[in-house]
């Protein structure tokens, strides 16, 4: 049985005060959920403060992005080494908002993935199709292309220490969740893409679903064979809602 993961992607939200309250409330409820990995991904500037607040707990720290470059003249970027330095264990790469709004191509995402992996951090590689792509029947082709770019760049070995998050773009922030069956179909395909290179790595790979996950729909999603947890946006900003999702992942909802 793969240990489930629930990661909260706060996106461009938060303040020092709001974060303190949110994290305190999450810590209060997360303490007894030892068989699930819980990761909080605040904006860069809040990483040290959130890291300090969760230190010694069973909650881990993640960032929302990382530079492909190690250092130098790259204004506005944050390197994977810096993220490790401030206590991150995980880094989201290739989120659809980065891909759609900030020009992150498959190649750029592969570069970010490589940089994160080389620092010994766990990349959470986001993949997913747009509504137009789903409606024109190319969902699996898109997924294969997105994962293929990473496999071409780094090979399959780093996937043993990585997480993949399937986030259909049409389900993000829309209230429109993929059905458990729709998500399972893609997750199983993701696992088979990796299995074609390495069956053992594929069997151990955690594949998260993201896109309008809420307390009310988490358990049915996590019940699917290849859904190993969730990458949570909006509901990660509400401690009670987030904890309900964590409890669903831990199997005691």
Instruction: Kindly state the tokens that stand for 10.
Output: 């706060």
Selecting among 90, 95, 117, 187, the annotated active-site residue is 95
Neighbour-count burial of 50, counting CB atoms closer than 10 A to its CB (0-12 exposed, 13-18 middle, 19+ buried): buried
Instruction: Kindly state the tokens that stand for 17.
Output: 């005060």
**Beta carbons within 10 angstroms of residue 39's beta carbon:** 25
Cβ atoms of 237 and 215 within 8 Å: the answer is no
For ligand 13P, the closer of residues 47 and 201 by Cβ is 47
For ligand 13P, the closer of residues 97 and 226 by Cβ is 97
Query: What is the gyration radius of the CA atoms in the chain, in angstroms?
Result: 17
Selecting among 37, 97, 129, 167, the annotated active-site residue is 167
Length of the chain as a residue count = 253
**Beta carbons within 10 angstroms of residue 156's beta carbon:** 16
CB of 249 to ligand 13P, least distance (A): 14
Q: Taking CB under 6 A as the rule, does residue 63 contact ligand 13P?
A: no
129 catalytic per annotation: no
Query: Could you give the dihedral angle defined by the CA atoms of residues 133, 134, 140 and 145, in that order, rounded to the nearest 10 degrees?
Result: 20
Q: For tokens 């990796």, name the residue.
A: 194
Helices and strands counted in the chain (H then E): 11, 8
Q: Pick the piece of the chain touching ligand 13P (CB under 6 A) from 32-40, 115-123, 184-192, 209-217.
A: 209-217
Distance spanning both ends of the chain, measured CA to CA: 18
CB of 177 to ligand 13P, least distance (A): 8
Among 51, 94, 111, 210, binds ligand 13P (CB under 6 A): 210
CB of 41 to ligand 13P, least distance (A): 8
Q: Taking CB under 6 A as the rule, does residue 193 contact ligand 13P?
A: no
167 catalytic per annotation: yes
CB of 143 to ligand 13P, least distance (A): 16
For ligand 13P, the closer of residues 201 and 213 by Cβ is 213
Q: What x-and-dash track marks residues 147-186 binding ligand 13P by CB under 6 A? A: --------------------x----xx-------------
Q: Taking CB under 6 A as the rule, does residue 232 contact ligand 13P?
A: yes
Which residues are annotated as catalytic?
Answer: 95, 167
């Amino acid at each position: 049985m793969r240990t489930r993961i629930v990661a909260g992607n706060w996106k461009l939200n938060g303040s020092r005060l709001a974060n303190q309250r949110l994290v305190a409330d999450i810590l209060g409820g997360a303490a007894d959920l030892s068989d699930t990995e819980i990761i909080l991904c605040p904006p860069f500037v809040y990483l040290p403060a959130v890291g300090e607040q969760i230190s010694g707990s069973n909650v881990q720290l993640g960032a929302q992005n990382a530079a492909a470059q190690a250092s130098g003249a790259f204004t506005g970027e944050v390197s994977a080494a810096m993220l490790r330095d401030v206590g991150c264990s995980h880094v989201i790469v290739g989120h659809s908002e980065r891909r759609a709004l900030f020009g992150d191509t498959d190649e750029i995402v592969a570069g970010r993935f490589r940089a994160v992996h080389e620092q010994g951090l766990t990349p959470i590689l986001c993949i997913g199709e747009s509504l137009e792509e789903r409606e024109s029947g190319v969902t699996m082709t898109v997924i294969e292309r997105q994962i293929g770019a990473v496999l071409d760049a780094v090979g399959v070995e780093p996937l043993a220490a990585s997480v993949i998050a399937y986030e259909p773009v049409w389900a993000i922030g829309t209230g429109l969740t993929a059905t458990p069956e729709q998500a399972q179909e893609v997750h199983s395909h993701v696992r088979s893409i990796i299995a074609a290179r390495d069956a053992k790595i594929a069997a151990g790979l955690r594949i998260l679903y993201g896109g309008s996950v809420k307390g009310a729909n988490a358990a049915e999603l996590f019940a699917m064979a290849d859904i190993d947890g969730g990458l949570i946006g909006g509901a990660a900003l509400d401690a009670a809602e987030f904890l309900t999702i964590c409890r669903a992942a831990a199997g005691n909802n």
